Chains A and B, each alone.
Chain A
Amino acid sequence: MSVSPSAVTRATRPASVLLAALAVIAALSARTSLAEQPGPDANLPTVEGGGVTLHSVSVDLPDGDRTFAGGQAADPINNNCLACHSAGMILTQPRLSEVEWRAIVDKMRHTYKAPVATEDAPAIVDYLATMNFGK
């Protein structure tokens, strides 16, 4: 399942960057069925040599459909942070301080080029620092 375009297309980030990211995600999740694990694809070639045969492969990698709870308070994190990775990245983190979360959000933006508008960053940090991740 892919990230819903309507939930993430907001005016607060460079639309072209996010649309490009969404196009990639959509292309990668074009097939909806996860019931099959196709593995080797009969329509693509195999190669052989020295007693080994390698079969071309075609698979469907799951996207992850979890979003963050909290209604409007979760909008900044849902709209900005799921373009590159699913929610599990965040939901499995230990309890971290606001300072630690701010450093992580800064790293996401500056090192990993997350398209997070400057005005959204404080709300994201606040959400992360106060979120109860459960057991």
Chain B
Amino acid sequence: MNVFESSLPTRRRFLGGVGMLGATAAAFPASAGGLVDLGLPGGPSRRDLTTAFPQKGQMILQRTRPALLETPFEVFDRGVFTPNEQFFVRWHWSVIPQRIDVAAFRVTVRGHVNNTLSLSMVDLLAMPRVELAAVNQCSGNSRGFFQPRVPGGQWANGAMGNARWTGVRLREVLDRAGVKPGAVAVRFDGLDQPVVDGAPDFIKSVGIDHARDGELMLAFQMNGEQLPLLNGFPLRLVVPGWYSTYWVKMLNDIEVLAAPDENFWMKTAYRIPDNPRADVRPGESGVKTVPINRMVPRSFFTNVTNGTVVSSGANIAIRGIAFGGDCGVSQVEVSADGGRNWQKSDLGRDEGTYSFRQWSARVATPNAGKFVLQVRCTNTKGAVQPAAPNWNGGGYMRNVIESVELTAA
């Protein structure tokens, strides 16, 4: 059986693949409408499944306005790229244009540059084109699992997705404007706006060298199609290997700065403790912070979940996805004995440094009873997922080793 491809609905394939007697798939929802239980410690854990959003299929409803839509986790078992219609959605402010004239749209490049530019989509379509596969993950993905709990978007693990992004290099656009000496950063603004005057418009910036590194891009397609409006049509920034907060949607303004960015969304919001795991003790004060930046390695089971029933005394096929964070996946390992011993998994096709990577393994199941599997990813820089979760007040950068409790029967 080829574990990496299937056109069958997930539930049926998942039953056949592991020889199960009857899945109790507690965390995976029924396929039509209804509710899902995200398994968040202390709750509230139940969410509606919704198909009410334009250009979107079934999504987990976290908030209607402005939309916070989580990808149902079974989607990640269907392929290494996340379909546009089930790609997660996250907006900060609810004044979001609902009608976009793609011929009239312009993106301005201004500030500490030689020439101010006003680029149309036709201009961008005529420029040298690049394509890159990259994971887009919310800074607060998995926040709902933090203990103690923290306020914010109460995601399970589905505020992430992988796509092939097509567009132009940011560097190309900046070079056309001509960045003047003394430039320190580039700031990005989209069409969305706050409801109330005086509230901070959502804008983000990166350092000038980062902006010009050749990997950041202005994307007008994801997975070969134009961006859904809710994922930033007609244009969004792609910052490979960095959290999604930087991936500004409906990008219409690029400002080159000659001084550090003091705006709220860099200076106060989206900041992490200044240590490699963004980890502090709950209640710790006086912690130095920095803007959130690079992603860290993660891995997940996608064909089993808590409560899945599997054949006892058998060799079963287990699979999932992994990503290296700000670099590639070196290896993915599975443990069936609480992390004392780890077996290497087989890795699927390498779609690129910043992409999801599928993994699969055959695991020997015990005789009847519950048992726990764990999966961990080591990235190409040698960073490995930790056994203990991090904690910070913002609920950011979770990447603890994931576990599932299965029942052998």
Q: Which chain A residues have a beta carbon within 8 Å of chain B's beta carbons?
A: 17, 20-21, 24-25, 28, 34, 37-39, 41, 44-50, 52, 54-64, 66, 83-86, 88-89, 91-96, 100, 104, 111-115, 133-135
Contacts and interface: CB of A to CB of B under 8 A. Distances in A.
Given A54-B220, A85-B65, A34 B52 contact: yes
Contacts of B234: 54
Given A39-B54, A113-B198, A47 B44 contact: no
Given A52-B166, A113-B197, A114-B196, 18 more contacts: A17-B196, A39-B54, A50-B125, A55-B102, A57-B229, A57-B233, A59-B98, A83-B196, A85-B66, A85-B94, A86-B65, A88-B64, A89-B68, A91-B44, A94-B149, A94-B154, A96-B149, A113-B198
Given A85-B65, A113-B199, A54 B47 contact: no
A54 B196 CA distance: 32
Given A50-B126, A59-B229, A28 B64 contact: no
18 contacts: A17-B196, A20-B197, A28-B96, A37-B55, A48-B122, A49-B126, A54-B226, A54-B234, A55-B102, A57-B99, A59-B98, A84-B94, A92-B47, A92-B62, A94-B43, A113-B196, A113-B199, A135-B44
A78 B199 CA distance: 20
Contacts of B182: none
Contacts, number: 168
A133 B43 CA distance: 8
Contacts of B194: 84, 112-113
Given A57-B99, A57-B229, A113-B196, A88 B52 contact: no
B5 interface: no
A33 to B, nearest CB: 11
A130 B229 CA distance: 38
Q: Tell me what chain A mostly uses at the interface: helix, strand, loop, or mixed.
A: loop
Nearest to B45: A135
A83 B47 CA distance: 22
A100 B43 contact: no
Interface string B175-217: 0000000000000000000111111100000000000000000
| Residue among A39, A56, A57, A133 with most chain B CB within 10 A | A57
Contacts of B42: 94-95
Nearest to A104: B151
Contacts of B268: 111
Contact of A52 (B66, B68, B94, B220): B220
Contacts of A48: 122, 125
Interface residues of B, number: 61
Given A50-B129, A59-B98, A17 B220 contact: no
A38 B44 CA distance: 33
Contact of B54 (A20, A52, A60, A114): A60
B264 A111 contact: yes
Nearest to A31: B98
Nearest to A90: B63
Given A41-B99, A94-B154, A135-B45, A62 B65 contact: yes
B103 interface: yes
B30 interface: no
A47 B95 contact: no
A117 B95 CA distance: 23
A63 B65 contact: yes
Contacts of A34: 52
Interface string B91-106: 0011110111111000
Nearest to A41: B99
Given A83-B196, A94-B42, A96-B151, A61 B98 contact: yes
Contacts of A89: 63, 68
Contacts of A84: 93-94, 194-196
Nearest to B51: A37
A56 B101 contact: yes
Contacts of A49: 121-122, 124-126
A88 B61 contact: yes
A37 B195 contact: no
Contacts of B102: 44-47, 54-57
| Residue among B54, B61, B126 with most chain A CB within 10 A | B54
Contacts of A104: 151
Interface string B60-82: 01111111100000000000000
